[in-house]
Amino acid sequence: MVGTIKQQLYVTGIPKGLTMTVTQLNLLPPDPPKEWRATLYDSAERQRFAPFTIDPSVNQGYVGEVKMYGAHAFPRSYLPAMSTSLLKAHSIFSNSLGARLEILWKLTGTPTGRVGDADFEVTTDPADDTVVHPPLKPEGSDPGDQAPPTVDPNDPDTWATKLDQVGSADPREEPVRSGRFIVETTKWGLIQRPDYVAVVYQVGSATPLRVVSKVAATIIDQPDDALFVIGVNSNTQEIGINGVQDKAVSDTLVSYLIKGIFYVHEKAFGWVFGKFW
């Protein structure tokens, strides 16, 4: 299908003793489902339905593939015969934001993980909890042979999801046992894919962050994978989640969590914290 975007999601680290369950999958407004689609599929290309659990030891914590596309797609050979009014009536030809898929999740259990005889206790480093949030992609990533973007991913108006207006993932829960991902794109052009794809990540009512990926002009190339790592700090009774686009970086974050550190990695998009107990 012309213009289909496929975003892969993984959760590669969860503290031992906790179970992560996806509880709801919601197509968010303002884009009506009759115009746009955003659907989650498993590794066998079957549509996923909540609830289901995520286990980092199974298929590397694969959450699924979010496919985003217009509900009406036409072969390019049909275009000369289609009227301007008809083209504007179909989302695949519209200069507008596409659908957003919200993935709500919760954690159950008690973090009891151990490595050898060492307790799984997480502390933060550096001490001031400084969050390094790259403006687009982490420094050192290769943008590839891509056309210049037409939008600024750092401009809040670029996205349908406003980070400072996102409410609690589950207002009924305090302390935090829940979180969310929101997969979205910037505007689609006339038979053109959007410039960027983002995965918003959040715990509780904390202000979320985004993992942002540049979209290549060709329909073959897809956004970078989005991988997430979750840790808990038993001293401050906090939960933290961080997003990356490189399996080696996520492995590094997990290795530091096991040692008791929320590591601020230059190629990660930043920690989001919330009270867990």
- Residue 241 CA to residue 119 CA, distance in Å, equals 20
Q: Is the predicted pLDDT of residue 3 greater than 60, yes or no?
A: yes
Question: Where is average pLDDT lowest: 5-9, 90-94, 99-103, 213-217?
Answer: 90-94
| 37 vs 7: which has the higher pLDDT | 7
Q: What is the pLDDT of residue 141?
A: 44
Do residues 34 and 90 make contact, with C-beta atoms less than 8 angstroms apart?
Answer: no
Q: What is the pLDDT of residue 268?
A: 95
- Residue 143 CA to residue 63 CA, distance in Å, equals 25
Q: Which of 204, 194, 188 is nearest to 277 (CA)?
A: 204
Q: What is the pLDDT of residue 33?
A: 53
Q: What is the pLDDT of residue 260?
A: 79
Q: Is the predicted pLDDT of residue 98 greater than 70, yes or no?
A: yes
Q: Which helix (H) or strand (E) holds 84?
A: helix 84-88
Do residues 234 and 111 make contact, with C-beta atoms less than 8 angstroms apart?
Answer: yes
Do residues 51 and 21 make contact, with C-beta atoms less than 8 angstroms apart?
Answer: yes
Per-residue DSSP letters for 2-70? TT-EEEEEEEEE--TTEEEEEEEEEEETTS-TTTEEEEEE-TTSPBP-S-EEE-TTSGGGEEEEEEEEE
CA distance to 37, 53, 63, 187, per residue, from 215 (Å)? 18, 29, 21, 12
Q: What is the pLDDT of residue 137?
A: 46
Q: Is the predicted pLDDT of residue 207 greater than 90, yes or no?
A: yes
pLDDT band of residue 139 (cuts 50, 70, 90) is: very low
Q: What is the pLDDT of residue 86?
A: 47
Q: Is the predicted pLDDT of residue 190 greater than 70, yes or no?
A: no
pLDDT, tens only, 159-189:
999 999 998 887 776 667 899 999 999 888 7
Q: What is the pLDDT of residue 212?
A: 95
pLDDT band of residue 94 (cuts 50, 70, 90) is: low
Q: What is the pLDDT of residue 172?
A: 74
Q: Is the predicted pLDDT of residue 47 greater than 90, yes or no?
A: yes
Q: Is the predicted pLDDT of residue 9 greater than 60, yes or no?
A: yes
Q: What is the pLDDT of residue 31?
A: 53
Q: What is the pLDDT of residue 175?
A: 65
Q: Is the predicted pLDDT of residue 43 greater than 60, yes or no?
A: yes
Q: Which of 194, 202, 161, 206 is nearest to 28 (CA)?
A: 161
- Residue 179 CA to residue 119 CA, distance in Å, equals 25
